[in-house]
Amino acid sequence: MYSTPYHGDKDLSQLSFLITGGAGFIGSNLVEYLLKYKAGKVRVLDNFATGHRSNIEQFFENPNFELIEGDIRDLDTCNLAAKDVDYILHQAALGSVPRSINDPITSNEVNVSGFLNMLQACRSQNVKRMIYAASSSTYGDSKELPKVEDRIGKPLSPYAVTKYVNELYADVFSNLYNLELIGLRYFNVFGQRQDPNGAYAAVIPKFASQLLRHESPLINGTGDYSRDFTYIDNVVQMNIKSALTENPEALNKVYNVAFGQKTTLNELVQILKSNLATYDPAIADIEITYGPLRNGDIPHSLASIDRAVNFLGYNPYYSIEMGLREALKWYALETI
């Protein structure tokens, strides 16, 4: 992983980073990248509500790694975690549209109040820059394709509301307090360390895990809904480029993080079956189950990545097919 460095010729050994939610899927991959390229300090803040110790335990013996077990809903904890760090990569959140529909209060407490705490900590601890995880759910009911950052619709779920509020708060804090903030609207990220279990598992690890157990995946709707599935390596690239960019025009903006390719759920299942059949030929014959649509789901998602390319030099390498070939090795090892 990460054989290509995304930090150019910058010496990371003189820099310190805080990754909130660092025991989660995206966060732990950021930790891996930074430690691989010898960052001076990599601190993780996580309460392990959705993250896993197994994702980061391989780093515990690294002298440049530090773990703070705590919750972003506590301001003192946020200030402690942000002390003496140059950059914050804020990944901590409660994801999932269905989870937010079932429990909007907790989603708001974590995603909005927790985010506000991190902004305040960034300000009070004189952090150079914070990169934060935004979401493609912000586009809501907009039917425009591809999705362009400056044109959004009405949010369709409490989760989408929380992520849009993050962007609004970031804009206010950048203007009032002169903070350097960049938001990354993730589009359906997948890859190694993504949890295939639980009620709110993302579709790719969930489907892959089910197929490997010879279970029939359930597609909500007819399977014609589409997504811009984005491999984790592309997301790591955007976080690193956003944190270290020296282009002043790139700051205090929101960027789509995607590959720029639309894939329907039916197409996704066929790609999964074809790839997984190399591990187990019986998977090719598993039937797919179809059920009712889920509340809050948007029909189609396809990103324009022009802004990221132009301002940050973003160059996503992994298409869904390339990413799945890498990710399925991990999913197969975890399931078999």
Which residue in this structure is represented by tokens 């809501």?
Answer: 140
Dihedral (C-alpha) 43, 49, 53, 56: value to the nearest 10 degrees? -40
Reported pTM: 0.94
Q: Is 33 assigned a catalytic role?
A: no
For domain 12-189+232-260+302-317, the CATH architecture is 3-Layer(aba) Sandwich (3.40)
Phi/psi for 314 (5° steps) reads: -60, 135
Tens of pLDDT, residue by residue, the chain (336 residues): 666 789 988 999 999 999 999 999 999 999 999 999 999 999 999 999 999 999 999 999 999 999 999 999 999 999 999 999 999 999 999 988 889 999 999 999 999 999 999 999 999 999 999 999 999 999 999 999 999 999 999 999 999 999 999 999 999 999 999 999 999 999 999 999 988 876 667 889 889 989 999 999 999 899 999 999 999 999 999 999 999 999 999 999 999 999 999 999 999 999 999 999 988 999 999 999 999 988 777 788 899 999 999 999 999 999 999 999 899 888 776 654
Integer CA distances (angstroms), 103 to 92, 94, 100, 131, in order = 17, 10, 5, 26
Considering 159, 164, 225, 318, which one is annotated as catalytic?
A: 159
CA dist 212 and 39 (Å) reads 37
The Cα angle at residue 120 between residues 115 and 121, in degrees rounded to 5: 95
Look up residue 248 and give its two tokens. Answer: 């002043």
Compute and round to an integer the Cα radius of gyration of the chain: 19
